[in-house]
Amino acid sequence: MKNIFSNTFLPIRFFLWGSALVMLFISSYAFPAILLPAKIIVAIFFVLVLVDILLLNRIKNNFSCSRKTARLFNLGDTNSIEVFIQNNSQLKIKVVVIDEIPIQFQRRDFEFRISLKPNEKQVVKYELRPVKRGAYHFGKIHLYISSFMGLVQRRVSFNEATTVPVYPSILQMKNMEMRAMSKISLFKGIKKLRRIGHSYEFEQIKNYVAGDDYRSINWKATGRRSELMVNQYEDERSQQIYFLLDKSRSMRLPFHEMSLLDYAINTSLVMANIALKKQDRAGLISFSSTMETMIKAEKTPSQLSKILNSLYREKESKTEANYELLYSSLRNAIRVRSLLILFTNFESMYSMERVLPILRKLSRFHLLVVVFFENTELKTFSTEDPKNISDIYLQTIAGKFVNEKEQIVNQLKLYGIQSIQTDPEHLSVNVLNKYLELKSRGMI
């Protein structure tokens, strides 16, 4: 008996009917003739409530429920979850579905209302967008069932507890791989780059087709075959690509609920996969006040998995980045000229000038690309129409910070350092374009 009432709840319909009956009894003081009918109606009402309780208790075991999730979730992307509900009873039942989603989402109104016919099975689909890496714990699934009378709800719980890890976005990695490896790039954001000259890697001799460079004609092969033959070249391979992650406090700034570091982590995974697909060697280095992760650039089959697992464990730091330590560590660890893609964030000219001597030293031995973020909110605010004197003042300050970002780009260019200033949303596309550009120009 205790178990029956502990899982029984009174919905809003019960209180509406109860309020109506109370009003009926109050009216009986003015109209005594309706007192007896009111008592009969109340008795019928409570009998129906009791019947509803017994009915729901009898069919409580005639339901099955399960949850289907992916093996892992993608950071920053929408991930689908499916809840399967089966009504094995012979009654039409209304169901309120409450799924205990992970605490990271901070949702308190996560419910679905469905109606199940006898022996009907339905699938409730919904999507979640995780914005932090880590383990996400799903709890129980609760079904609040009610009959056609709707006077009582019975709770039926299913222990479908599971844990799903949120990794750097593999979905973005696959999408960008398809774009980068496509021979005819028609995807939005991917630039078509005209190759100037040849790279150093000879691939094969092939038949001449309209549009081939006349300077590539192999005259010896043409003489042997009595038809035009041309040399075909390909990008150089086995070049070292290192992704440097600045994990200092400047990378903790949020954008659309995700930190700048998480955007850089997603892009690092994307670029590592593309570099490996192009037969280059990819490595990963993360640092803050100390050197934390150092994965040597390789192109073994397990390299991408090693980088993925390392990126999953990266955490933001509250300290400043130690670029002097970064320089000494790179000089000792990397002996061959490599492409270094540094993900960092400069909020002012002063913050860039502090590390500029170290960046210049790195650029002497390696091809350095500095990737930093633009403040899109400040940029938008600085272009709005001011409404009062205060807005003019604030927009002037915002414009100053926006202009400083442009000065940082020019200052780095002055010392021959490649740079990318981008908003976080287009980070992967812009870094991919820069990588393809450097490959096509033979600068790596």
Q: pLDDT 10s digit of each residue in the chain, 444 long?
A: 556 667 888 889 999 998 998 898 888 888 888 888 888 988 999 999 999 888 888 888 899 999 999 999 999 999 999 999 999 988 899 999 999 999 999 887 788 999 999 999 999 999 999 999 999 999 999 999 999 888 999 999 999 999 999 999 999 999 888 877 764 444 455 555 444 444 445 566 778 777 677 677 888 878 887 888 887 765 556 789 999 999 999 899 888 889 999 999 999 999 999 999 988 999 999 999 999 999 999 989 899 999 999 999 999 888 999 999 999 999 999 988 999 999 999 888 888 999 999 999 999 999 999 999 988 877 787 788 888 888 888 888 888 888 888 899 999 999 999 999 999 999 999 999 999 888 877 777
Give DSSP secondary structure letters for 63-117. EEEEEE--SSEETTS-EEEEEEEEE-SSS-EEEEEEE---GGG--S--EEEEEE-
**C-beta neighbour count of 133 within 10 angstroms:** 22
Query: What is the rounded CA–CA span in Å between residue 303 and residue 281?
Result: 9
Sheet bearing 121-128, strands edge to edge: 63-68, 79-87, 121-128
- Give the dihedral sign, CA 387/390/396/401: negative
Q: Return the DSSP state at 33.
A: G
Query: Which token pair is 339?
Result: 């492409």
| Helix, coil or strand: residue 287 | strand
Residue keyed to tokens 């600085």: 382
For 170-194+236-440, the fitting CATH number among 3.30.310.50, 1.10.3720.10, 3.40.50.1360, 3.40.50.410 is 3.40.50.410
Tokens 């990819």 found at: 282
Residues in the chain: 444
**Pairing mode, strands 240-246 and 281-287:** parallel
> Which two structure tokens, joined as six digits, stand for 254?
């949020």
Bridge-based pairing state of the strands 153-158 and 63-68: unpaired
CA distance 438 to 431: 11
CA atoms within 13 A on the CB side of 364: 7
* Domain at 63-167, CATH from 2.60.40.10, 3.30.230.10, 1.10.1740.10, 3.40.50.10440: 2.60.40.10
